[in-house]
Structure 1
Amino acid sequence: MSSPSIDGTASNSSDVDDHIWQGLVQVPRGLKARILGRGADRLFRRAAARLDLRVEYPDGTVIGAGQFEHILPRMIIRRPEAFAARIGAHGLIGFGEAYMVGDWTSPDPAAVLTVLASRITHLVPPALQRMRSLFVATPPPSDDGAAHNTQENIASHYDLSNELFALFLDETMTYSSALFIEPLFEQWDQLADAQRRKIDRLLDAASVGPGTRLLEIGTGWGELAIRAAARGAVVHSVTLSREQQELARVRVAEAGHEDAVSIDLLDYRSIEGSYDAIVSVEMIEAVGHRYWETYFKVIDNLLVPGGKVALQAITMPHDRMKATRNTYTWVQKYIFPGGFLPSLRAIEDITAECTSLRVEDTFAMGEHYAETLRLWRERFSAHGRQVLELGFDETFRRMWQFYLAYSEAGFRSGYLNVHQIVLNKSREQ
């Protein structure tokens, strides 16, 4: 097979650069790998037969076709033995890696992954689920969210290239869930307005206005700081991404708010000062569950009595959070080292037990994130050639295609959610 096409329908594992993707091209070998691979193959075929999928094998075998064969999402297994061996040896990490090297593909990976995500807790037999600790890897020490690791973890994702993110983000350069007007909009040119709507809702929730001393934890590319400054707030924003800091400062200056906004390269644990309001958008996911208590204590100490916090946080069900908090995942390995999603209950419990902050209001908007991700994914795919021209290879492009589809599936299936959470601090301190 020749080099893969930009639309992602074909790939050849021999095209993977082993100097960049060390060990990825190697299929697990040996007796143990063969036994686990055969078991994974049986489990996968049995599960696929119960799902609304059309799974196609190179020998002509089709699972899950029937009368709905023209509407079911297509999952095309190109190298069955390698596919099964990777899953048997590395579980869901192997499943994602199999897509990266082209062991399986799909014309619509988001649709395939949505079906799988909707049944994720039922695909593995209960007996094997109870033995998960014997098979799943744990996160490496280098991924821990301690202060000496955090900047490298953040840089590995956010410092990839501002030009890369600009290929699929809208003009606001906002990399978090938008908030659409019902019914959900689908046109690309409406995404920027939906992002501004999301930001304004958070600023309203935190009562940000003229003279507000606002702390933003996690700058992004500066849109929230710009909109807060336009309201008359004085903004201190912190980030651990040098690329984001550089472009955010440029955007703030171009908007005419240079005097009202400072953007520092700083870990949240090193912030000093006193603030009337604190806003943080999809940053808690990078903190790590061992440091959630520290994170909220820092916020509590920085906020004045009577102040408000507005968070936007990706969340997962509490029972799944507890079951997976020591599991090393494909997303942690390839996209967000050290990341882990909280549950809404975990945020409520930690703030109630360890701080003077109390959850005042929550607003769920998971379906909005599914649409946001769909727009990003489609735009990323449409700019596939430009991704390669920026110096990223085909394996990287397929990895990001999988990441965006995987994320969309999580929200579309309801396995993941995203909340805007408002916390207040009592005036009696």
Structure 2
Amino acid sequence: MTVLRARIAESLFRNAVRALPVRVTLPGGVRWGAGGSNSPVMRIVRPDEFFRKLGADAKIGFGESYMAGDWNSGHLADVLTPFAKRMATLIPKPLQVFRHMVERRQPSDERNTVDGARNNIHRHYDLSNDLFANFLDETMTYSAAWFAPGVTDLAEAQRRKIDGILDYAGVRAGTRLLEIGTGWGELAIRAARRGAHVTSLTISAEQKALADKRIAQAGVSHLAKVELKDYRDATGTYDAIASVEMIEAVGREYWPTYFGALERLLVPGGRVGLQAITMPHDRLLATSESYTWIHKYVFPGGQLLSVPAIESNSRLPIVARRSLGQDYARTLKHWHQRFTANWDTIAEFGFDAQFKRMWEFYLGYCEAGFRSGYLDVWQLGFEKAR
């Protein structure tokens, strides 16, 4: 069965790349793909292992084969972008009906219950503050930036993004702001500098420790506090709520709970600034129960939304929106470059060569998703009726 599945995977892969603007090379001078001399190159160096992994579980095996060194590319995001552009049609439509027979479903122990969410977050965000500090910019912001025309500085673009969310939420002096998902504290600091009174929630102990330190160093501890608390346990009422790329960790079964919390915690006339990564709605419907490489290695329990899914789950109307999809591609390119440049330092924290390849694939995979338009990220403004 393993050999048969590997052969089927090889046939499907060869058919998929036939029309892609890439060059796929194999040992012995074999070449596939429709790419010319200037096209990105994917080098399969161990084809037997590559197709065995692809046949065992395509959505996980493709990334695992890169981690294992079965294939390489000097320009990973360039190679992956054509695949991402044709994500919905890489497998011939008549064969897509068999998806449920071969794809794994997300494991029940990664459900985002209160305890499960804490464990899922711990597996990624508590890896090491030093790791994140060595590929993020000085603001320690781990989400899409918003570049102004002609601006190349990532930290400046991150501050612009945060200001955009705070503006959508109507944050000003005296505003009682709830932040759901602290990160490492930059949004709380910028809101406090506007004179807002900030309560920020996180379930990452590592993030809270560094956010507390950064808030104190910024001199705004009297205005901003970080609580180690799940959003479902939040109490009180607020004039504004901000949440930046936290909703992806909520999980589909808890979307109504999340949006219900926004409505419950917001005063009449209050506003929400939400930043969310999205995918096309038809792809959400087709893949929402799939277990992917990203789930296994990076974001257990994660689930992207679509804009229609947000609209159908929220009783608060969207009153403002902007897309930052291409800005996210630029952001990820910055992160990838910094990660590579600082790898020797990162390795000193105990991360090995396989982790390096895993992180390279994660960053390149995501950059390709946004460059291709398969993924997008939206800043959305909501308002509660008075």
Q: TM-score range by the shorter chain?
A: over 0.9
CA distance in 2 between partners of 1:417 and 1:48 (Å): 24
Deviation at 1:358, TM superposition (A): 1.1
Contact 2:81 2:372 in 1 (8 A): yes
CA distance in 1 between partners of 2:15 and 2:26 (Å): 14
Deviation at 1:63, TM superposition (A): 1.5
1:229 partnered with 2:192 = yes
Superposition misfits of 4+ residues, deviation over 3 angstroms: none
> Which residue of structure 1 aligns with residue 148 of structure 2?
181
| Residue 10 of structure 2, aligned match among 24, 27, 41 | 41
Q: TM-score, normalised by structure 2?
A: 0.99
CA distance in 1 between partners of 2:282 and 2:115 (Å): 30
1:117 partnered with 2:76 = no
| Residue 320 of structure 1, aligned match among 264, 278, 283 | 283
> Which residue of structure 1 aligns with residue 124 of structure 2?
157
Amino acid at match of 2:25: E
> Which residue of structure 1 aligns with residue 136 of structure 2?
169
> Which residue of structure 1 aligns with residue 62 of structure 2?
95
| Residue 289 of structure 1, aligned match among 248, 252, 272 | 252
Deviation at 1:381, TM superposition (A): 1.1
> Which residue of structure 1 aligns with residue 156 of structure 2?
193
Deviation at 1:278, TM superposition (A): 0.2
Amino acid at match of 2:203: L
| Residue 380 of structure 1, aligned match among 325, 334, 339 | 339
Residues 238-317 of structure 1: pairs in structure 2 closer than 5 A:
238-317=201-280
Deviation at 1:406, TM superposition (A): 0.3
When residues 57 and 247 of structure 1 are mapped into structure 2, their CA distance, relative to the original with a 3 A threshold, is: same
1:83 partnered with 2:46 = no
Any idea what SS the aligned residue of 2:378 has? strand
Any idea what SS the aligned residue of 1:347 has? helix
- Identity across aligned pairs (percent)? 53
**C-alpha RMSD over aligned residues:** 0.9
Deviation at 1:361, TM superposition (A): 1.4
Contact 1:36 1:85 in 2 (8 A): yes
| Residue 390 of structure 1, aligned match among 329, 349, 373 | 349
**Cα-to-partner distance string for 1:266-306 (whole Å, 9 max, x where unaligned):** 11100111100000000000000110000000111000000
> Which residue of structure 2 aligns with residue 416 of structure 1?
375
Contact 1:33 1:89 in 2 (8 A): yes
Amino acid at match of 1:284: I
1:203 partnered with 2:166 = yes
Query: Structure 2: where are the runs of 5+ without partners?
Result: none
CA distance in 1 between partners of 2:168 and 2:100 (Å): 41
**Cα-to-partner distance string for 1:238-282 (whole Å, 9 max, x where unaligned):** 001111100000000000001111101111100111100000000
Deviation at 1:145, TM superposition (A): 1.0
Contact 2:18 2:34 in 1 (8 A): no
> Which residue of structure 2 aligns with residue 336 of structure 1?
299
CA distance in 2 between partners of 1:194 and 1:72 (Å): 30
CA distance in 2 between partners of 1:407 and 1:65 (Å): 23
Any idea what SS the aligned residue of 1:426 has? coil
Contact 1:219 1:244 in 2 (8 A): yes
CA distance in 2 between partners of 1:273 and 1:405 (Å): 41
- Count the aligned residue pairs: 386
Any idea what SS the aligned residue of 1:121 has? helix
Deviation at 1:387, TM superposition (A): 2.1
Q: TM-score, normalised by structure 1?
A: 0.89
Query: Structure 1: where are the runs of 5+ without partners?
Result: 1-31
Deviation at 1:64, TM superposition (A): 2.9
Contact 1:387 1:397 in 2 (8 A): no
